Chain A
C-alpha cells in the first residue's frame, strides 16, 4: 500500500485543513483515508469527485421518488399503482432498447451530459405543469414513469462512467468508498425531503433536484477532464468494450446454465415480492396520511431510515455473514425479512407492519442481498457473465416488475381484496424463493470449482468473494496440491484475506520446493501476528532466489519491531547478494511508508552500491548483479531524482541490465530518459520493454515520438516501432498524429501507422477518427490497387492490346478477391512464358526421411527472363494482397473494426459462400463512393472484364512493357523497383538506362546493388561518384 500524496483525498477538505496548519492534520487525514479506503497517490481527486457525483445523483433520486409517490397517490390513488408498475416495466424496456441503439456512436460523457440536461429540462417542464395546474391525470403517470426511468438511467450511467475511469485494480479498492457516496446520498436525500417538504411544499423540491443535477454536470466535466490518462483509461475501456461488442444470445446462455437460470429466478421473484412490499407500504401510508406534503415527508423520512439500516447491515453484518456462512447463506436474509414483514401485514395490516415489510426489503436488498447476488455471479466465466448478467438485471427485472403490476391488478378483482391478500401472494413467492436459494448453493460451488480449474477468474477483478466461508474452504484445500502454479494462483486470489484457518497451510508452504511459493507464503504470513516464521525467514535469506531473499528480509524487518536496526544488519551483511536484497527491501518500504523516508536515503544506498562497482576486487558477476539490482531498485522507488543513476544503466553493455533499466525508466517517467528509450526501440530483446516503458509516459510523450516520425533521416527501425508505442497510448493525440501520417509514401511505415490506428480504434472506441479523410485515403488506396492490377495484367499478357494478343486470360485480374491461389504467378499461362514456371511449384520434400530436412525445388528449363518476369509478377500480386489488406484496415477505421476484419477474412477465403456473404455485407454497408471502387475488387469477375471496367470507370489503361518498367522505377515501392530493374537487366531493356543510373546511388542498398547489376549486364559504366 502506498501513501496518499499531495493530490490527497477529498481535496477541498484537505486544503481547508492545510490553511490551518495543518501538515500534520493533513497527514493524519490522509492516513485515515488510506487506512479506511486504500486510496492511493493520484486517485484522491478522481475518487472524491466520483463520490460527490453519486452522492448528488442519489440525493436527487431520493427527493424525486417521494415527490412522485405522494403526487401520484394523492391525485390518482393507490388502486392505479399496479398499472403504473406495468407502465414503468414496458417503458423502461423500450427505453433501454433505444438507449442501446443510440449510445453506440456517442462517447459516454456526451451521453451523460445529454441525460443530465434533458433531465433538468424535463423537471422544469414538470414544474411548470404543476404551476399551471396541468399535472393531473395522465401527466402524473408520465411523471411517475419518468422518475423511475431517471433513477435507473442516471445510476447505470454513473457506474458505467466509474468503469471507464478506474481500471479493475483501482475499482477493486475504490468502489467501496464511492459506493459509500451513494448510501450517504440516500440518507441525506431522504432527510432533506422529510425536512423541506412541509416547509417548501412538495412541488418546489423539484428545484433542489435541478440544482443538484447542475452540480453533477460540473462534477462530470471535472472528472472526465482529469481522467484522460492513457493506459489507465485504456485498460478499463477494454473491459467496457468487451461488454458491448459481444453478440452472444443471452437467453441461450442463461438456458444453458442451471446456475444462471436460478440466478434469473432469484432476481425475478425478488422484484415481484419487492413490488408487493412497495404496494403494501404505499397503500397503508396513503390510507393513514391524506395530506400531500405530509406524505412526501413521510416517504422521505422512511427512505432515509431504510438507507441508514442498509448502511448498518452493510458495514456490520454483510462481511461477517459472507465470511462465516458463505454466499448462499447470505441470500436467505432478504426473503426472511420480507416473510416476517408479510406475516406481520397478514396478521395486522397497520402502518407499523407495512413499515416492517418495506424496511425488510429496503434494508436488506441493497446490502447483504446485493453483495450475495453479485458474488453469486463471480464463478461464471466473464464472457458469459457480461451478457447474461446484463440481461438478468435489466430484462428480467423489468419483466418481473410488469408481472408484479399485472398480478396486483388481478388480485384487485378478488372479492374483499385488501393488503392482506398481497401478503398471501408474497408468501407463496417467498416459498419458491427459499427453494431456489437451496438449489443455487450446489450450483454456485460447482461453478466456482470449475472456474478455478479453468482459471477463468482474474484475481485482479474480483472483490471479496474469497472471504466467503464455503469458497475459502475449497480454495485452501487446493493449497495441498502439488501444482505450483495452482498454489500461487490460489495464494494470489486470497491475498489480503485474514483467516486463521490459513496458518497451518502457510507453515507448510514456507518449506515448499518452489521459491515463488515460499515467497508468497511469507508475504501472507506477515498478516498473522500469532504466526512466527522468523526462523524460516532467516533460512530463506540463504535461498538462491533473490526475490525470496527480499521477502524474507522484509518479513524479519516488520516482525522484529526494532525498525531500522534489523534492516541495517542486512544492509551491512558480508554477502553482496544479501546486501542487495536488503536495499531492495528498504526501497520497497521507503516507497510505501512516508515515515521511513525520514530514516533512510535511497540515494545513499545507491551510491554505496555503485561505489562497489569501482572496487577492484569486485568480480564481473558481482558487478553485473549490482547493476541489475540497482536498475530494479530505481524502478521500485519510482523517484525521478534517481534518473542520473538510470542513465548509466540504460547504456550498459549487458542486455539484462539495460532491460531492467528500461523497465524502471517507464516507472519514473522523466523526459531525460526518452531519447535512450527510443533508441532501444531498435534493440533486439529490449524493444518490447522499451515500448511499454515509453507508453507509460502517456500523452506527454506523443509530440516527442511524433518528431521521430517526422524525421526522414531517422533510423527506419525506430520509425517503424514508434506507431506501436502510440497504439498503446489511449488519447486523441495518438490518433491525430497517426492520421497525419497516412499520406506516408513508404508503404512499410504506412502499414505500421494503419495498424496502430486499427489497434486504437479496436481497443479504445471512444477516440475520434476523421471519417472523411479516411474515406478519401481508402479511395486512393483503391486507385493504387487498380494501377498495380494494370501493371500485373501487362506482365501476364505481354501481347495485350496488340494484334497478336487480344484475349489474354491468365487470371491476372483474378488476383482480386483470391484467397488461396498463391503462387498464381507460376500458373499463369496467358503470356506464353509461364509454362516453365509451373514446374517451380513442384517442390518435392524429403524432410522426414533423413530427419535433417532436404527439400528439392527448382524450375526446370526456366530462363533468366522467365525467372525475372515471374519474380515481378509475384511481387505485384503480393502488393495487391497487401493493398487489399490496407484497404480493409482503412475500412476498419471507418466502420466497425470487427465487421471489416470478418469481411476481409471472407474475401480472402477459399470458401465461395463466405466470400459471397462478405461481398453482400460490404454491398449493404459501404457508402456509394466506396462501393463503386471496392466492390469490383472483391467481386469475382473475368480479368478482361475488370480491366475494361477499370479503363472505363477510372481511366486507367494497361501500360506497355516500357511504360510499366518506367512506372515502377519512378515509384516509391523499393521492392517493385528492384524487381523491375532485375527484369530490365534480364531482357536487356536499354530505354531506362538513365533512370537506372540514378538509382545506382539510391539510399537503399538493395536498389543500388540491383542497379549496378543492370548496368553491368548491359555494359554501361556506373556513373562516377556513386
Chain B
C-alpha cells in the first residue's frame, strides 16, 4: 500500500493538479482508494455513467471504443479525468491488460473535497482557465 506522501508523488505530475499545492494533494491523496485489479478486468464500460477517475500505479490499462483500441495507459498515467467534472456517459471502455494497481478518485468525494477546500478548487479552476485560454489563443490564430 502506498503512503499518503507516495500518492502525492503520483498526483503532483497530473496535468489537472498542476497548480494544486502539494499539501492540497495530500488531502486529495487521502480520498483516493488503492485498487489491485486482475488482468482483463473491465474498470468501466463505454456508456457507463462516470463516477471516478483513475491513476495507474503499475500495470497497463487499455481504452477501447466500439471494440477499437484507442490508447493504453501505463504507470503514472491517468484516465477518466472528465468524469470528475461532467455527467456525460463514458466514451471508452477501460480494461486492464495485466494485473494492475490503480488509484481511484471517487467523484463524490472529489466534489466534497473541492467544497471543503477553496484553495484546491481555485487551483483546479486555474488549470481549466489556462487550458481554455490556450485553446482560445490557438483558435484565434
Contact = CB atoms under 8 A, between A and B. Distances in A.
A989 to B, nearest CB: 15
A574 interface: no
A476 to B, nearest CB: 41
Nearest to B75: A858
Contact of B23 (A867, A975, A1013): A975
Interface string A362-387: 00000000000000000000000000
Contacts of A975: 22-23, 26
Contacts of B63: 850, 852, 854
A855 B16 CA distance: 9
Contacts of B31: none
A871 B5 contact: yes
Contacts of A867: 9
Given A853-B78, A871-B5, A1009-B3, A684 B22 contact: no
A840 interface: yes
A851 B81 contact: no
Contact of B79 (A717, A854, A982, A1010): A854
B115 A684 contact: yes
Contacts of A636: none
Interface in B103-133: 112, 115-116
A482 interface: no
A875 B78 contact: no
Contacts of A852: 63, 79-83, 90-92, 94
B77 A875 contact: no
A854 B72 CA distance: 9
A874 B22 contact: yes
Q: Chain A interface secondary structure, helix, strand, loop or mixed?
A: helix
B15 A855 contact: yes
B33 interface: no
Interface stretch (A112-120, A332-340, A841-849): A841-849
Interface string A341-362: 0000000000000000000000
Contact of A684 (B3, B82, B112): B112
Contact of B81 (A855, A874, A878, A978): A855
Nearest to B64: A850
Contacts of B18: 822-823, 843
A251 interface: no
A878 B22 contact: yes
Interface string A823-849: 100000000000000001001011101
B37 interface: no
Contacts of B30: 1006
Contacts of A822: 18-19
A984 to B, nearest CB: 12
Contacts of B75: 858
B106 to A, nearest CB: 14
A472 B21 CA distance: 55
A868 B16 CA distance: 21
Nearest to A847: B81
A200 interface: no
A846 B23 CA distance: 27
B91 A850 contact: yes
Nearest to B126: A822
A852 B77 CA distance: 13
Given A684-B115, A843-B14, A878-B21, A854 B3 contact: no
Contact of A853 (B9, B65, B79, B112): B79
Contacts of A849: 70-71
A999 interface: no
Interface in B46-77: 53, 63, 65, 70-71, 73, 75-77
Nearest to A982: B5
B71 A846 contact: yes
Contacts of A978: 4-5, 26
A28 interface: no
Contacts of B41: none
A859 interface: yes
Contacts of B77: 854-858
Contacts of B115: 684
A871 B76 CA distance: 16
Contacts of B12: 840, 871, 874
Nearest to B77: A856
A843 B13 contact: yes
B28 interface: no
Contacts of A857: 13-15, 76-78
B82 A853 contact: yes
Contacts of A882: 21
A858 B11 CA distance: 10
A392 interface: no
Interface in A859-890: 859, 867, 871, 874-875, 878, 882
A728 interface: no
B5 A979 contact: yes
Contacts of B100: none
Contacts of A878: 21-23
A753 to B, nearest CB: 15
25 contacts: A684-B112, A684-B115, A684-B116, A840-B13, A843-B18, A850-B91, A852-B90, A852-B94, A853-B81, A854-B78, A855-B78, A856-B77, A857-B76, A858-B75, A871-B5, A871-B9, A878-B21, A878-B22, A975-B23, A978-B5, A979-B5, A979-B22, A982-B5, A1006-B30, A1010-B3
- A-B CB proximity, top 5 nearest: A853-B81, A857-B13, A858-B76, A851-B91, A975-B23
Interface of A: 684, 717, 822-823, 840, 843, 845-847, 849-859, 867, 871, 874-875, 878, 882, 975, 978-979, 982, 1006, 1009-1010, 1013
